[in-house]
Structure 1
Amino acid sequence: MKILLPDSEGLKTAYQLSGKSAPQEKLPADPARIVYSAAHVTADPFSASAPSGRAAIDWETTLAFRRYLDGLGLGIAEAMDTAQRGMGLDWRNALELIKRTREELPHARVVNGCGTDHLAPEDARSLDDVSDAYLEQVDAIQGVGARIILMASRALVRVAKSPDDYKAVYAKVLSACDQPVVLHWLGSAFDPALKGYWGAPHFEDALEVALEVIEHNKSKVDGIKISLLDKEKEILMRRRLPAGVKMYTGDDFNYPELIAGDEQGYSHALLGIFDPIAPLAASAVKRLGEGDKAGFHALLAPTVPLARLMFQAPTQYYKTGVVFLAWLNGFQKHFIMLNGAQSMRALPYFTGIFRHADACGLLRDPERAIELMRSFLALYGAD
């Protein structure tokens, strides 16, 4: 099978599909690594508010994708940035998403994004405002029996004057959590509004603050996910975590190496890239648990070029690539996103996603994917 794909200059050349097909192996219930896939949402394109107004979600298609992830044995990180949290998905719809996933998959391994996004940063006047916002979401999520991943707060960045302010807010919020939570250190590459998180401009100082927060509240902390796209920083922090506190890699550039680990430890995973590469993620971690480290790397290493393209700067628009591939693979009937985010990447990005996905065997129905890709190119006058 072939398709004509344009390059960055518009020159079209024939691309021969690889014919590869990703394995479809289920991760066992006791995997070698705890693995969460942050999951995207499908917009409802027929709503009067779509795509740039209040979030309008196609609930059945969104939940069907979560059933698919659970069927592969993957955990689900719900209502996170992959679901466009803070970039189209507001708190009201995030809570509805959390509730529906809880009802749909009551026995699945799920952690749910808890933040302060219903409080506009410019409306935050004090640390109490931020704490109260966090606690409102904590109460709502725990009220439906769901577990929490404590997301970074734009409002806290705005009002905090020192690292001690971060320590105070986290201590107050964590004390209200009824189960150990996953903390999330989201780097400014993913959200520029979070620059200087933990009240420190440099990583070395921020690391000390984060470690102190964990140490002082370790009975309330299951682990921490860091999304800094820097493997050395993650490894450094991983080696200093208190006993029993897990590192969940959020590094969508270096995840195979970090999950495999070294002689001093390894990272579990909570990744946006595991949405589009879900079958390979499940199969690879299954093989790792079987002692087949070479097989693990053989499956995941070819996905890294796809991930590096999908998460290229400006990194916060990686969701566009995630949903584009979901559309090509038939998980949804259209390529419309919340907040019009389908327009946030250029044509060469999409043709690159197509090529890399095919090279990894991630096009579930290549003939259908070619048909959709041709219709997509036609919108750009490149059919």
Structure 2
Amino acid sequence: MSLQLPAAGGAFRAYEPRREPAPAVLAGGAGSPSDAPCSRTVYAAAHVVADPFADTVPDGPAAVDWEATLAFRHHLWSHGLGVAEAMDTAQRGMGLDWPRAAELIRRSAAEARAAGGRIVCGAGTDQLTGTAAGPSAVRAAYEEQLALVEESGARAVLMTSRALAAAARGPEDYLELYGHLLRQAREPVILHWLGPMFDPALEGYWGSADLDAATDTFLDVLGAHPDKVDGVKVSLLDAGRETALRRRLPEGVRCYTGDDFHYPGLIAGDQHGFSHALLGVFDPIGPLAAEAVRALDSGDTAGFRALLDPTVPLSRHLFAAPTRYYKTGVVLLAWLAGHQDHFTMVGGLQSARSLPHLARAYELADGLGLFPDPELAEHRMRTLLALHGAAR
């Protein structure tokens, strides 16, 4: 029986759900972290699962279902993907407070060691809340988080900082602070450049709203400490700019694409090189992404594109403006896929997208065969529609 899915403007359209998952999804993650793709280093930025039974309020401490959250990391590792932990996909600064993020890092790093899975963890300054922080407070916050990540046995992703964006007077403040952090890092880190489409508070990062000038400052940071930088994670949703930046990186410094609009072409690369990946969209499409990158391992670029290109419409839908609310669609798909028992998010962010948006996300994901149990996904989608009074 077809589903009647709501569209913008109040209309409904009939949709016939798929009956079988895609072969890569049907495999069910029967592999192990040792099955990781080898031609590219690939991380999925993973979401957190809220505790739906906790008595919380939107601005209060986050309540996390640790068992389900960690189980999802094992799902990603079982497909050979690395986990990028405590990044913006995990609602850093959008519902997940620093004490819970710190616990998430400790727990996930321990699970990664036990499972043999790859992991990197975000270090930022989100413990600074309320009044504006000065440069010394921003530095201390970064140092605290960097130390925690390294003490947990993980490599750090130095995340962009709202507090630094507010406190910095110009490029020199970025050069000074990042230079200080890189000098004290025990292991090479990933530098994260998150654009304002993901967080409006990051407008003018690296000391300028002019992206060419900001890129020069970013490269100056790398050039001063190339031995302390494993790679850069670029989330500007501009494939041409990422490609140009990639060609200017110091030798040995990787580019990890964070472009959830253009990732297939950037990962496939060109005659001058390619991007590795650290992507939020690899949370819901993990099995397909892993299978696609393994095709690259065997030199099958056409097979890679055949698997990954069809996922772009779903990704562009999830990351549509306002982009920072993409997490809602990611968690919806995790619920529909059976990775968690509810559609609840820390901070109440499950309300951040409209019902027509969620219905379209379901339709696109189902069309790709992303749900291991299509009947369960259909049942849950019908339940969501009924909850909103849209059952037909």
Same fold (TM over 0.5): yes
Deviations 1:45-77 (A, max 9, x none): 111125552100000000000000000010000
Among 116, 123, 126, the alignment partner of 2:132 is 123
Q: Which residue pairs with 2:287 in the alignment? A: 279
Residue 16 of structure 1 corresponds to which residue in structure 2?
16
Structure 1 residues 30-109: aligned runs within 5 Å = 31-49=38-56, 52-106=59-113, 107-109=116-118
Deviation string, structure 1 residues 109-149 (Cα, Å, up to 9, x no partner): 10000001101273312x22211110111112212222100
Aligned length: 382
Whole-angstrom distance in 1 between the partners of 2:84 and 2:159:
12
Q: 1:310 to 1:275 in 2, by over 3 A?
A: same
Contact 1:45 1:51 in 2 (8 A): no
Determine which of 326, 338, 342 is the counterpart of 2:346.
338
Structure 2 CA distance for aligned equivalents of residues 43 and 324 of structure 1: 12
Contact 2:36 2:79 in 1 (8 A): no
**Structure 1 264/14 Cα, relative in aligned 2: closer, same or farther at 3 Å?**
same
Which one of the candidate residues 367, 381, 385 is aligned to 1:373?
381
2:178–2:221 CA contact under 8 A, matched in 1:
yes
The aligned runs of 1:102-251 (5 Å cut-off) are 102-106=109-113, 107-120=116-129, 122-125=131-134, 127-251=135-259
C-alpha distance in structure 2 between counterparts of 1:68 and 1:169, whole Å = 37
Q: Distance between the aligned counterparts of 2:201 and 2:208, measured in 1? A: 14
| DSSP 3-state at the match of 2:232 | strand
Q: Distance in 1 between matches of 2:89 and 2:368?
A: 21
Instruction: Give the alignment's Cα RMSD to 1 decimal.
Output: 1.3
Give the TM-score taking structure 2 as reference length. Answer: 0.95
TM-score scaled by structure 1?
Answer: 0.97
Q: Percent identity?
A: 54
SS at match of 1:362: coil
- Post-superposition Cα deviations, 1:5-60, rounded to whole Å, max 9, x if no partner, equal 12223333321124452233658345110000000000001111255521000000
Distance in 2 (CA, whole Å) between partners of 1:176 and 1:245 is 18
Superposed counterparts of 1:294-313, under 5 Å: 294-313=302-321
Pair 1:82–1:247, CA change in 2 (3 A): same
Q: Which whole-Å CA distance do the structure 2 matches of 1:51 and 1:157 have between them?
A: 25
- Residue correspondence of structure 1 range 327-366 to structure 2 within 5 A: 327-366=335-374
| Structure 2 stretches lacking a partner, 5+ long | none
Structure 1 runs, 4 residues or longer, greater than 6 Å off:
none
Aligned residue for 2:4? 4
Deviates more, 1:2-11 or 1:30-39: 2-11
Whether the 8 Å contact between 1:121 and 1:154 is mirrored in structure 2 is no
Letter in 1 for 2:133: A
